[in-house]
Amino acid sequence: MSRIDVIVVCWNDKEKIATALDSVFALSEVRDDPSFANVVVSDNGSTDGSRAFIGERYGGRVRIVENGANLGFAAACNRAFAATSSEYVFLLNPDAELKDRALAEIVAFLDAHPRCGIAGSRIYNYDGTVQQSLGEFDTWTGAFLRSSAWGEWPALRGFSNGASLRDFAYDRPRRVDLAIGAALAIRRALIDAIGPFDERFFLYHEEVDFAKRAAEADWETWFVPASEAVHEGMGSARGQYNVERRKQASRRKYWIKHHGRAWYYSLAGALIGRYALYAGVVAVAVIAGRRLFLR
């Protein structure tokens, strides 16, 4: 049996998916032992020839799980979880590529830390800078500050969500609240213990919800910098407007699920009030300026 199942979710990613898959097969641990990693593509009904391309390029080295329609990221991962059986799974975006020994390093870390259920790789942008791939669970104050410009005020920055990670050097293993799913390892025992991804999260926040449930069940999430990947970003989101709309919808579902409707509506009300106050101040300033101009 393979040590780890590498899962790539695909939706019309023919132009990019070779980046991810080629990087897996180029790893020295996979070249030395082809059975080390089992590679699976969970295809969400691609219509761009992705499945044929994968079959022609990789043959039997890549198994394709055909979902028949765009089920979303969480559901596609769950179909792949059910179709595999290795001790660990590794989620890799189609627009990401692994650096050498990325899988070997993260498997070694998981072997040495039995309570680590989730492990995130160090992710780079293509310009060589480190991508912010870690996060903290939301508090009401932190969510309010992050969702408004007030979170950037020097006196308030320390209270915004993610404040403790702003100056993190990303150079040592560290226990964290959550890591993004672009290059992420999960222990199968954790999936068995708390269940797979919540499929109500079509895209975005599914890994945040999963990490939250893991923490509540006393499992740990770690950042593992020895495992490295490069990630382009955006991928199948198809457009900045769609990205933000999906993110907001998933964040709203997450807040209601884990904090309740009262928590969410009080936050939404505070944000609306903040923007109304800002609009009022601007309107008063404009009116006052116009009167001075007309004198």
Q: What is the CA radius of gyration of the chain?
A: 22
Indicate the angle between helix axes 206-216 and 240-259, nearest 10 degrees.
20
Q: Which residue has the higher pLDDT, 279 or 228?
A: 228
Q: Residues with Cβ < 8 Å from 292, sequence gap 6 or more? A: none
Instruction: Please indicate, yes or no, whether residues 279 and 295 belong to a single structural domain of this protein.
Output: yes
What whole-number percentage of the chain has pLDDT above 70? 76
Residue 21's nearest CA partner among 42, 46, 41 is 41
**CATH number reported for the structural domain that contains residue 157 in this entry:** 3.90.550.10
Instruction: Please indicate, yes or no, whether residues 145 and 267 belong to a single structural domain of this protein.
Output: no
Residue 258 banded pLDDT, cuts 50, 70, 90: confident
Instruction: Please indicate, yes or no, whether residues 183 and 55 belong to a single structural domain of this protein.
Output: yes
Residue 156 has pLDDT above 50, yes or no: no
Are 95 and 19 a contacting pair, CB within 8 Å? yes
Residue 265 banded pLDDT, cuts 50, 70, 90: confident
Instruction: Please indicate, yes or no, whether residues 87 and 154 belong to a single structural domain of this protein.
Output: yes
Instruction: Please indicate, yes or no, whether residues 268 and 251 belong to a single structural domain of this protein.
Output: no
Residue 278 has pLDDT above 70, yes or no: no
Instruction: Please indicate, yes or no, whether residues 36 and 140 belong to a single structural domain of this protein.
Output: yes
* DSSP-H helix ranges across 164-239: 188-194, 206-216
Instruction: Please indicate, yes or no, whether residues 288 and 193 belong to a single structural domain of this protein.
Output: no
Q: Is the whole-model pTM more than 0.85?
A: no
- What is the domain extent for residue 39? 4-257
Q: Which residue has the higher pLDDT, 192 or 144?
A: 192
Instruction: Please indicate, yes or no, whether residues 222 and 268 belong to a single structural domain of this protein.
Output: no
Half-sphere exposure of 187 (CA within 13 A, CB side): 23
Residue 73 banded pLDDT, cuts 50, 70, 90: very high
Instruction: Please indicate, yes or no, whether residues 285 and 160 belong to a single structural domain of this protein.
Output: no
Output the pLDDT for position 270.
Answer: 62
Q: Which residue has the higher pLDDT, 149 or 122?
A: 122
Output the pLDDT for position 244.
Answer: 73
Residue 63 banded pLDDT, cuts 50, 70, 90: very high
Residue 279 banded pLDDT, cuts 50, 70, 90: very low
Instruction: Please indicate, yes or no, whether residues 138 and 100 belong to a single structural domain of this protein.
Output: yes
Instruction: Please indicate, yes or no, whether residues 130 and 249 belong to a single structural domain of this protein.
Output: yes
Q: Which long-range contacts (CB under 8 A, 24 or more apart) does 275-283 make?
A: 275/148
Number of domains in the chain: 2
